[in-house]
Amino acid sequence: MKHADFQHVDTWVFDLDHTLYPASMALFDQINIRMSAFVMRALNVDAQEADRIRHTYWRAHGTTLAGLMAQHNIPPYPYLDEVHEIDFSILKPDPILADRITRLRGRRIVYTNGTADYARNVLHHRGLSGLFDAIYGVEDANYRPKPDPDAFAMIFGKDGLSPTRAAMFEDDPRNLAVPHELGLRTILIDEEGSHEGPSAHIHHQTHDLSWFLGHILGDLD
């Protein structure tokens, strides 16, 4: 491993959506549609109001689900089942990414605000099954989502990782603030270049996870 900033790392934490697959594959577009449909039905509102509510809850609570639970006492299921009933076939395997993840020294884990079952479906269709030592979903944090500090405390506590010897890859800048405070090396995956940096809690920023891992491993030097 050639990149000096990562020589100390023995645990690699990966977000899922728009991190282990690119946003351009548009998988999450299907989830957005299903989330809006659920909100419309559950709260008896039209599409425009449902989208406004979703955005408000995402900003205030971290996820739409967290807002629905906090503001309307809506249980996590069947919401989580419904929004993840999507077509995964649009995802394509990435053997180069799989090879680079496999070659990272130490433990590799997935931590998503979706469910662990959803994560396993994504990993299967990306050709990444079996590469991770643990997969954590929002249910493993008692349905508290990133960026809630309590969510990170629960997941990192369950995993037993040492924050000062870990790195985290994530597409939402908000979700890197707590890991940075805890001592993790933080990497923002920003495929579209929409994040206007620099940000003190983001150590590195890249448009492509596989490309970045290639540099860490010395493949692209």
Claim: this prediction has a pTM higher than 0.85: yes
The residue whose two tokens read 């109001």 is 49
Residue 34: predicted pLDDT: 96
Residues of the chain within CATH 1.10.150.450 domain(s) are 27-83
Model confidence pLDDT, tens digit, residues 139-187: 999 999 999 999 999 999 999 999 999 999 999 999 999 999 999 999 9
Per the DSSP assignment, residues forming a β-bridge with 170 are 188
Low-confidence ranges of the chain (pLDDT < 50): 1
Q: How far apart are CA 16 and CA 111, in angstroms?
A: 7
Percent of the chain at pLDDT > 70 equals: 97
Residue 2: predicted pLDDT: 54
Query: Torsions phi, psi of 87, nearest 5?
Result: -90, 110
Give me the CATH code for the 4-21+91-217 domain, please. Answer: 3.40.50.1000
Residue 18: predicted pLDDT: 96
Q: Is 103 helix (H, G, I), strand (E, B) or coil?
A: coil
Q: How far apart are CA 148 and CA 8, in angstroms?
A: 26
Q: How far apart are CA 20 and CA 169, in angstroms?
A: 9
Give me the CATH code for the 27-83 domain, please. Answer: 1.10.150.450
Concatenated DSSP letters for 59-99?
HHHSSHHHHHHHHH---STTHHHHHT---GGG----HHHHH
Residue 1: predicted pLDDT: 44
Q: 138 Cβ partners below 8 Å, 6+ apart?
A: 63, 65, 76, 80, 112, 113, 114, 115, 144, 145, 151
Per the DSSP assignment, residues forming a β-bridge with 186 are 168
Residue 194: predicted pLDDT: 75
Residues of the chain within CATH 3.40.50.1000 domain(s) are 4-21+91-217
